[in-house]
Amino acid sequence: MENIIRKGIAFNPEQLNQFDILSKDKGYKNRSEAIRDLIRKEIVEESSTDPETFMVGSLTLIYDHHAHNVQHELTHIQHHSDSLIRSTMHIHIDEHKCMEIIVLEGKVKDIKRLSDMMIATKGVSYGKLVLANSRVQ
């Protein structure tokens, strides 16, 4: 690995034991990688609280395409999204239910505003936004 600094960190033995069990269950090969992932997660979570930070995100929506005007409403919102939308995937789950995965990129405040609008659209039964920061190493 390039550009790695080794540091000693003090742990409570019981906590460290619990952490090792948890990270092994999650499939980590070593403790360092598990700790690095925790740090990345914290940095991403922190940056997502800053409305001006540029991030990428995926919004998952589930809706019944027969319900109200939902499909029309969602399409309308997406056409007025100020180029925040990078890609959209539509999956016909069954005769009624549709799943849409919308990939967004832009300022946190704009991604959240657009996502909230789509999640709040009448007929959407589930909506969740996951933000990621591609700049976190």
Dmax over CA atoms of the chain, in Å, equals 59
Using CB under 5 A, which residues numbered 10 to 39 contact Ni ion? none
Strand extents, DSSP E, 1-68: 54-64
Q: How many residues contact Ni ion, by CB under 5 A?
A: 2
Do the Cβ atoms of 108 and 114 come closer than 8 Å?
no
Candidates 18-26, 79-87, 95-103, 120-128; binding stretch for Ni ion (CB under 5 A): 95-103
Candidates 18-26, 53-61, 90-98, 123-131; binding stretch for Ni ion (CB under 5 A): 90-98
Please identify which residue in 61, 74, 85, 98 interacts with Ni ion, judged by CB under 5 A. Answer: 98
Q: List the Cα angle 28/29/32 in 5-degree steps.
A: 80
Report the residue number whose CB is nearest to Ni ion: 98
Considering the complex, what minimum distance in angstroms separates the CB of residue 22 from Ni ion? 38
Which element (helix H / strand E) includes 25?
helix 13-25
Residues in contact with Ni ion, shown as a per-residue x/- string from 40 to 79 under the rule CB under 5 A: ----------------------------------------
The smaller minimum CB distance to Ni ion, of residues 11 and 126, is found at: 126
Supply φ then ψ for residue 108, to 5 degrees.
-50, -45
The smaller minimum CB distance to Ni ion, of residues 41 and 76, is found at: 76
Residues that bind Ni ion (CB under 5 A): 92, 98
